[in-house]
Structure 1
Amino acid sequence: MTVRSDRLLGRSLFFTLCFVISLLLGVHFYLVSPFVASYDIANFTLAVGQYDLANLQPHFPGYPFFILLATGLARLGLEPVRALGIVSTLGFTSGLIPLYWLLKRQSFDTARLLAAFTVISVASLVVISATGMSDGLALGVLCWFMWSVERARHGHFRLLPYLLFGLLMATRLSYAPFGIVLLFLLWQTRKDSWQLLSELATLLLAQLAWLLPVAFSVGGPASFAQLSLSFVTGHFSDWGGTAQTDEASLIERLGLTLKQIVWHGLGFTSWLGLASGLFLFCQRIRPLPLWWSVTGAGYFLWVWLAQNIDKPRHVLPLVLLLVFLLVRHLSVRWLVPFLCIQLVMGSIALYRQATIEPATIQLADAITGLPASATIFTDEEDRQFLMKRPDATIVPIGSVSKWRAEPKSAEVYLTGRLFKRLRAEDVSIEVTEVFHFTSDPRFEPEDAEARLYRLNLNEEAPR
């Protein structure tokens, strides 16, 4: 009778926890951000209405899986930006299932469900998933991919990891280093030629399944290749904002990468969150298996050496892996404090993100009061501005040469980001500040401050 009572109590606790988790996830869906808070979100939002890769709707490589799901929701009546946020949130929260399967040791395992929920409750992960970015969906697909790899290693569903890797690439191409783990699976089958061939073929077909439709949407593989080269060339030229244009040394980039993982990722820029995260390090930690350690190290090198590390979202897969590593063998008494702190921080941040306009949007509202003859030069804010004032003359500037070539009338304005870019390139100009707005830097660090300047006459000093 005692064993039966324990089982009934265990099931009761398990389903009670499922109910509580469902309520909390419902709050996450309710607090999806309604704002086109960044240049990338603007591109995704436009793509939901009209998919046009050549017009950066969205930018290369197209994110077809993310846009396809969001387009389906938008056709049901949702606003495009909310459809994107719901897809991202839904994709991320679905990761609870494979994480639980990776952790559980018995049926109705309450402790392991709590551990899995702890992973997807990290504030930085929750907040990014509630926006119109593809990161949330990508993190969810990554969780399913991790589970499929472990199943395949034991001989179950051997082809599934290759299919899910195709979905992962169709969601966020920058997660490509996670394909390293597939090399370990292929190594397992090295002595079985037919099995090796079938897995390689599945890997190739899974990539072609999303690459070919995207390529034909711009005229075919040749046009797609030309477009990709054009995008990469532009992305790595002048102020493309990538590793090639970053003047920081490798040591400085390493320090910033670690800061993004620990301070912005694990702590979510809160000393309380950081303390709770570091507390987990004091517990007994068992290392990840070799195949995941090598894969995680490969992604870390990719972020450190090749990504725009100014954006914390690039380190979020490492944060997910790190938290998974820390919680997988912890007891409930250690999980609950960390979970509660992350839930409180994440809920407050979600509410602020969903209710307070980002600085760039505040600036976009403000420019509606400028004269009709005004010309506004921007860095990457043009599409956000045009959504607010379609009739305005908005000119995006991507290089010093384009700035010099553009004609300038008496009513010329430029954004703070563009002014900062020009000053960094030693372009001497005289301006007067017109607007200045700020917002929470935890959400979109590069857009947490928005300024608009009026260009004074004789704007460029002689060189």
Structure 2
Amino acid sequence: MIENEFLATKKGGMSLNRVGSVLLLLVIAVTSYFRFQYGSSFARSWDQVDFALALHRFDLLAMQPHFPGYPYFILGGLFFHQWVPDAARALAVFNTFMMMIACFPIYFLARRQLSPFYSLLSCAVVQSLAYFWIMATESMSEVSAVSMLWWYLWSLQFAKEKQTVSSTVLTLFLFSILMGIRLSYVMFGIGIILLIIYQRKTSQTKYDLWIYTVKSFIIALLFQLIWVGGLAASEGSITNFISLSIQFIFGHFNDWGGAVTAESTSIVDRFSMLVFYNILWIGVCGESIYSALFLGAIGLFFIVHLFKKRFSITFLKNMYFIMTASYFLWALFAQNIEKPRHALPLIALVTFFIVNDVLKQRSQRKIKTILLILFLITQSINGYQFVKEKAQDVPAAYQLAEYLSRYEEPFVVYTWEEARIMDYLKADYPYTRLLTYDYFMSDKSQRGNKKILLTNHVLEGFHRQGMDVYNKVNEVKTFVSNPLFDPVYHRITLYEWNEEK
């Protein structure tokens, strides 16, 4: 009698799990559908313009795209560009496609610890993150890179389990694809080093370890040379390519890249913004109070579990934890802290690890599941609303360009990075990108009686150079878009220069 009741309960549970699994698959499918539907045609930033222009003519010197070129991302965009006429939207469609097929490695990784239903739940939660909805529908390489990162992480797990040469070669190949999509994810290459150490820890001699390491290094280098060699050939010679790479690296760390070496922001402020704003508030919560509440409750279960484990050495030595920590330091010191997209892999991995850790503990699993489903629903609704708004939200830089195209009096406008979008829109009025106050003073004197217009970013640049000229300008008009879609250029104010003030 008791046995029959147990079997009935178990059978009912299995049936419920099957229904739940089907519903989760449906959620993932609907999520992908709406991302395809709302792929953005706006190239909202300098980088997005670079990528969009590259589909028409690939030229690193002209920053189409910017160094190092990300050829695999461009190839994906070119493939979908056959059916999607708009270049920016073609890249967005490729992002959505890559994120959709990333469900497989996410599921396989979760399956190492969880049942099929809970593995699907883990995958659906990661896919549902509202900020990923936003990033998947624009022409940036981050989402494609994170999607390839999941395949790379799965291959590390696969190679660790199989202990075969072919599985290691697969990992090296996928890492080269990852680098050809987003070079800043290079810190995840630490996983290959850890894999080799793990595979050869039983070697009888140091000679065996060194031979295996050298072979792996040569194979990895050959895979990387596939895309690096292609880029060098596109520049005419390896010398030109190296010269271009040096200029880019110098500019990133000392001028415009937002690294800690180029910013006056304190390390404490950078840390706070990266962790609490970029990762938690924007990335994981999607700027939703409800998501934050559900996440807080889920986080309590995670923290309790951590203390029960007493921060074991095994946990700290986990391969994925080390890679995540390494990229965190890279994002903290070497990336532009004003752009949350640079924290995208951290957002995905932190969410995945917390969800998996919470679900694998059997205690109070029903409550955890309900909280995660509520979090999933909230994020999906927010994500849908974001991409729907984003498809209609005209970027502030586009609004500025449209306003100037109808400006009747003769003028010249001085801009900062807005000029790149004016290039993309093929603006037919005179505009100049400024870098220094001295150049501005020299150039404007040659403009005759034309009105001199400047954007607020130009004035901010002058201020950083020690020139406060706000008392010499009159405000003309302000253009605003959603800061979640345009983190840096969501508010552009146009000013007119007035010598008489």
Report TM bin, short chain: over 0.9
Give the Å deviation of 1:153. Answer: 0.8
Q: Which residue of 1 aligns with 2:497?
A: 455
Contact 2:137 2:387 in 1 (8 A): yes
Cα offset for 1:14?
3.0
Equivalent AA in structure 2 for residue 309 of structure 1: I
The Cα of 1:308 is off from its aligned counterpart by: 1.0
Matched, 1:94 2:101: yes
CA gap of 1:108–1:30, structure 2 versus 1, over 3 A, is farther
Match of 2:137 in 1: 130
Are residues 399 and 234 of structure 1, via their aligned partners in 2, closer, same or farther at CA, if it must alter by over 3 Å? farther
1:139 and 2:142 equivalent?
Answer: no
1:105 Cα shift?
A: 5.5
Please name the residue that 1:275 is paired with: 293
When residues 254 and 108 of structure 1 are mapped into structure 2, their CA distance, relative to the original with a 3 A threshold, is: closer
Q: Distance in 1 between matches of 2:301 and 2:473?
A: 55
The equivalent residue for 2:334 is: 306
Shift of 1:254: 1.5
Q: Aligned runs of 1:12-51 on 2, under 5 Å? A: 13-51=20-58
Deviates more, 1:395-404 or 1:212-221: 395-404
The residue aligned with 1:165 is 175
Over residues 88-147 of structure 1, what are the superposed CA-to-partner deviations in whole Å (9 max), with x where a residue is unaligned? 121122221101011125998122112111112111122112111111101100111111
Give 1:8 shift: 6.2
Change (3 A) 1:72 1:399: farther
Matched, 1:246 2:263: yes
2-side partners of 1:121 and 1:298: how far apart?
A: 25
TM-score (norm 2): 0.86
Q: Secondary structure in 1 aligned to 2:168?
A: coil
Contact 2:405 2:428 in 1 (8 A): no
Deviates more, 1:63-72 or 1:387-396: 387-396
Change (3 A) 1:290 1:355: same
Question: Could you tell me whether the CA contact under 8 Å between 1:368 and 1:389 is conserved in 2?
Answer: no
- 1:62-92 C-alpha deviation (Å, 9 max, x unpaired): 1111111101221334210100111112112
Which of 446, 461, 465 is 1:421 aligned to?
461
Q: Distance in 2 between matches of 1:456 and 1:415?
A: 14
Identity rate of aligned residues, in percent?
30
Aligned residues of 2:133 and 2:386 also touching (Cα < 8 A) = no
| More off after superposition, 297-306 vs 324-333 | 324-333
Match of 2:157 in 1: 150
1:446, CA displacement in angstroms? 0.5
Q: 2:400 aligns with which of 356, 363, 378?
A: 363
Residue identity matched to 1:453: Y
Q: Does the 8 Å CA contact 2:38/2:137 hold for their aligned counterparts?
A: yes
- Rg bigger for which structure? 2
After TM superposition, list the pairs within 5 Å mapping 1:156-305 onto structure 2.
157-190=167-200, 191=203, 192-193=208-209, 195-238=212-255, 241-259=258-276, 260-284=278-302, 285=305, 287=315, 290-305=318-333
Distance in 2 (alpha carbons) for counterparts of 1:115 and 1:446 = 32
Relative to structure 1, the CA distance from residue 226 to residue 405 in structure 2 (aligned partners, 3 Å threshold; closer, same or farther) is farther
CA-based RMSD:
2.4
SS at match of 2:128: coil
Query: For structure 1, which segment, 272-281 or 316-325, has the greater mean C-alpha deviation from structure 2 after superposition?
Result: 272-281
Could you tell me which of 404, 412, 416 is aligned with 1:379?
A: 416
1:189, CA displacement in angstroms? 4.0
Q: Please state how far the C-alpha of 1:242 moved relative to its aligned partner.
A: 3.3
Q: 1 CA distance for matches of 2:237 and 2:269?
A: 42
1:386 is displaced (CA, Å) by 2.9
* One-letter amino acid of the counterpart of residue 455, structure 1: W
Of 306, 314, 338 in structure 1, the residue corresponding to residue 375 of structure 2 is: 338
Flag the 1:373–1:120 CA change in 2: closer, same or farther, 3 A: same
> Is 2:365 the counterpart of 1:325?
no
Which consecutive aligned stretches of 4+ in structure 1 deviate over 6 angstroms post-superposition?
3-6
Q: Contact (CA 8 Å) 2:294, 2:372: kept in 1 or not?
A: no
The change in CA–CA distance for 1:342 and 1:5 in structure 2 (over 3 A counts) is closer
State the 1:278 CA deviation. 2.1
Alpha carbons 1:66, 1:171 under 8 Å: kept: yes
Q: TM-score, normalised by structure 1?
A: 0.92
Q: Which residue of 1 aligns with 2:433?
A: 396
Instruction: Please state how far the C-alpha of 1:173 moved relative to its aligned partner.
Output: 0.9
In 2: Cα distance, 1:83 partner to 1:440 partner: 22
Alignment correspondent of 2:4? none
Residues 1:437 and 2:492 are matched in the alignment: no
Answer with 70-79 or 217-226: which moved more: 70-79
**Which moved further from structure 2: 227-236 or 141-150?**
227-236
Name the CA distance, whole Å, in 2 between partners of 1:20 and 1:248: 41
Distance in 2, Cα, partners of 1:448 & 1:392: 22
Tell me, yes or no, if the aligned pair for 2:283 and 2:347 is still in contact at 8 Å. Answer: yes
- Structure 1 residues 109 and 391, CA gap change in structure 2 (3 angstroms): same
Aligned length: 459
Structure 2 segments unaligned to the other structure (5+ residues): 1-6, 307-314, 360-364
Contact 2:258 2:335 in 1 (8 A): no
Corresponding residue for residue 312 of structure 2: none
Q: Which runs of 5+ in 1 are unaligned?
A: none
* Shift of residue 275, structure 1, vs aligned partner: 2.1
Alpha-carbon separation, structure 2, partners of 1:74 and 1:457: 49
Report if aligned partners of 1:357, 1:439 keep a CA contact under 8 Å in 2.
yes
SS, match of residue 120 in structure 1: helix
